Structure 1
Amino acid sequence: MNQTFMIDITSDYKGCVFLPNHINLNTALYKLNFGTVTIDAKFKQQPSSKQAITISEDLAKDIFFPYVKHPLHIFIHDETLTIGPLVGIFTSGFTSFPMRPIGDRSIIFSKLLSVSTSVGALPFVFGEKHINWDSGTIQGLFYLQNGWKTIEVPFPNVIYDRLPNRKSERQKQQKEVKSRLEQEYLIPWYNPGFFNKMDIYDRLFQVEEISEYLPETQPFSSYSAIENMLAKYGHIYIKPMNGSLGLGIHQIIYNREDSAYYCRYRDLKAGMNKLKKFSSLEGLMKHIFAGKNLERMIIQQGIYLLKKEKCSIDFRLHTNKDSTGQWIVTACAAKVAGNGSVTTHVKSGGTIQSLDEIFEDPIEREEIANKLQTASLKLSEAIENNMEGLVAEIGFDLGIDQSGKVWFFEANSKPGRSIFTHPSMKKFDFLTRKLSLAYSIYLTEQAMKSPEALFR
Structure 2
Amino acid sequence: MTRTKVGISIQGTSIYLDDRTVVLSEAIARRWKVPSNQSMILRFGSAKQDVKVVTAATSNSLRFNPILATKIGIHQGAQLNIHYRQNVGTLSIGPLIGVMVSRVYSSSHDRPFGAITAFCKEMTDACERYGAVVCFFPPGEMQANASSISAYAYANGSWSKKTFPIPNVIYNRLTSRKYENLPNVQQFLKDAKARYGTEVFNEKYLNKTEVFEALRKDSSLHGYLPESYLFKNYQMLKSMASRHPVLFLKPITGSLGKGIIRIRREPGDVYTCHYTNLTGVRKQTFPSLSAVFQAISGKLKTQRYQLQQGLDLITTDGRSIDFRSLVQRGAKGEWAITSIVGRIAGSQHFVSNLARGGSLTNVVGALAKTPFSSATRVSVTARLRKASIDIAKGIEAQIPSHFGELGIDLAVDKMGKVWLLEVNSKPSKDDNTPLNNEKKIRPSVKQLVQYAKFLAKI
- Pairing partner for 2:40 from 30, 36, 45: 30
- Pairing partner for 1:400 from 412, 418, 423: 412
Distance apart, 1:75 and its partner CA = 2.4
Secondary structure of the residue that 2:160 maps to in structure 1? strand
Which one is further off, 282-291 or 407-416?
282-291
The superposition leaves residues 7-26 of structure 1 with CA deviations (integer Å, 9 ceiling, x where unpaired) of 23244422133144251426
- Pairing partner for 1:205 from 210, 216, 219: 216
Q: Which runs of 5+ in 1 are unaligned?
A: 449-456
- Using the alignment, how far apart are the partners of 1:157 and 1:422 within structure 2? 29
Q: TM-score, normalised by structure 2?
A: 0.88
CA RMSD of aligned residues (A): 2.7
The superposition leaves residues 180-199 of structure 1 with CA deviations (integer Å, 9 ceiling, x where unpaired) of 22223332211111001111
- Using the alignment, how far apart are the partners of 1:220 and 1:62 within structure 2? 54
1:326 aligns with 2:326: no
Change (3 A) 1:421 1:436: closer
Secondary structure of the residue that 1:316 maps to in structure 2? strand
Question: Counterpart amino acid of 2:384?
Answer: L
Residue in 2 aligned with 1:6? 6
The answer as to whether partners of 2:257 and 2:276 remain within 8 angstroms in 1 is no
The answer as to whether partners of 1:64 and 1:152 remain within 8 angstroms in 2 is yes
The answer as to whether partners of 2:346 and 2:357 remain within 8 angstroms in 1 is yes
- Using the alignment, how far apart are the partners of 1:293 and 1:259 within structure 2? 26
Question: Counterpart amino acid of 1:156?
Answer: P
Question: Counterpart amino acid of 1:279?
Answer: P
Identity %: 26
1:88 aligns with 2:98: yes
Change (3 A) 1:96 1:149: closer
The superposition leaves residues 68-90 of structure 1 with CA deviations (integer Å, 9 ceiling, x where unpaired) of 25x32222232111111011112
- Using the alignment, how far apart are the partners of 2:163 and 2:212 within structure 1? 43
- Using the alignment, how far apart are the partners of 2:326 and 2:197 within structure 1? 29
The superposition leaves residues 401-449 of structure 1 with CA deviations (integer Å, 9 ceiling, x where unpaired) of 111111011000001245336699x99981112212321111112xx9x
Change (3 A) 1:132 1:280: closer
Secondary structure of the residue that 2:249 maps to in structure 1? strand
Which one is further off, 201-210 or 172-181?
172-181
Residue in 2 aligned with 1:381? 393
Distance apart, 1:6 and its partner CA = 2.8
Q: TM-score, normalised by structure 1?
A: 0.88
Report matched runs for 1:245-256 at 5 Å.
245-255=256-266
- Using the alignment, how far apart are the partners of 2:94 and 2:392 within structure 1? 27
Distance apart, 1:220 and its partner CA = 1.3
- Using the alignment, how far apart are the partners of 1:101 and 1:167 within structure 2? 21
Secondary structure of the residue that 1:198 maps to in structure 2? helix
- Pairing partner for 2:24 from 15, 18, 21: 18
Change (3 A) 1:427 1:221: farther
The superposition leaves residues 28-83 of structure 1 with CA deviations (integer Å, 9 ceiling, x where unpaired) of 872211111111222344425x23344455543332210125x3222223211111
Residue in 1 aligned with 2:174? 163
The superposition leaves residues 187-220 of structure 1 with CA deviations (integer Å, 9 ceiling, x where unpaired) of 2211111001111111110112112111111121
The answer as to whether partners of 1:5 and 1:53 remain within 8 angstroms in 2 is no
The answer as to whether partners of 1:219 and 1:297 remain within 8 angstroms in 2 is yes
Question: Counterpart amino acid of 1:238?
Answer: L
- Using the alignment, how far apart are the partners of 1:2 and 1:60 within structure 2? 25
Count of residues in correspondence between the two structures: 440
- Using the alignment, how far apart are the partners of 1:227 and 1:134 within structure 2? 52
Q: Which runs of 5+ in 2 are unaligned?
A: none
- Using the alignment, how far apart are the partners of 1:358 and 1:291 within structure 2? 34
